[in-house]
Amino acid sequence: MSEIEITSGRMNPFIDPHLTVWGWEIPVYLFIGGLVAGILFFSALFYLRGREAEFKTTIKLVPLLAGPLLVIGLFTLFLDLSHKLYVWRFYTDIRWESPMSWGSWTLLIITPLSFLWGMRWITDIWPSFQWPFKWLDRMVIFSKKYTRPIAWILLSGALILGMYTGILLSAFNARPFWNSAIMGPLFLTSGLSTGAAMIILLSKSDREKKLFSQIDITLIGLELFLIIHLFMGFLASTRVHIQAADLFLGGAYTAPFWVLVVGIGLVLPMMIEILELKGFHVSAKIPALLVLAGGLILRFIVIDAGQTSRWLYKFMQ
């Protein structure tokens, strides 16, 4: 019985509760990656649409967080590596079939560009700001000259980054709960939603907050749609995928997932945002904080459940 979990009143020979591979570092990294993807996507998109004067927080202020957040995320990823001194080997080759290779090269491109994008707007926010070194001034001049091409690169790079955080998990065939094509779109949608929530949290413009509340409602609705279809896919698949779904349908993750992620992290902020748009006086910061918390908890639960769910071949022989 040491390698068998009792789930929903019956023995589940496809679950290994003792398997632990990833700790807190990977969920935090995936959350930050999705958040930065959302921030950069909306900033680049609204700049390219010529809304610079209307949405200053979206385009100029919030992107200042993107570079530092990515550094924190990459540091947590570095902490999780078993062979830290060999991290440079990611960049000795490009493997088109590897999500890890795609993610490594995307991060290599998007991290410096996110700093450059943030630097581009500092003097717009603080006109008296002075760069301490001339080479930094030259970088800002370069970014102002090529703002539009940089925005296009960030727009596409943000979508790849947000999608990659889920595809990275779905590529693990040996982990039934991760092995779903919906993981990529789900994590991208969640990242865009957390990015919208961060803009709502920091914006002082009622018009900006109203627009991003509407965007966030749409993204939350799409996220709920993807979650439902994730479990529909599992329940219509093999026995091991059904057993993985059972973890959330009466098993160990039922209450944390449906209460904390779906209830408090998605449905409740969606309802509050709808009430706010209908004229009720509710602080926009409350649903924004709930969405951010829900996005982080989602990644912790998905990572933990994926490690718990696995194929145990000796039970199938």
| Domain ranges across the chain | 5-315
Taking CA atoms, 197 is separated from 47, 243, 273, 283, in Å, by 18, 34, 11, 13
User: Nearest-CA neighbor of 305 among 14, 2, 36, 31?
Assistant: 14
In the predicted structure, residue 239 carries a pLDDT above the cut 90: no
Each residue's pLDDT tens digit, 190-222: 999 999 999 999 999 999 999 999 999 999 999
Tell which residue, 27, 99, 39, 88, has the closest CA to residue 64. 39
Query: How confident is the model at residue 308, as a pLDDT?
Result: 83
pLDDT tens digit string along 269-311?
999 999 988 888 888 899 999 999 999 999 999 999 888 877 6
Second-level CATH architecture of 5-315: Up-down Bundle (1.20)
pTM of the full structure: 0.87
Q: What is the pLDDT of residue 10?
A: 37
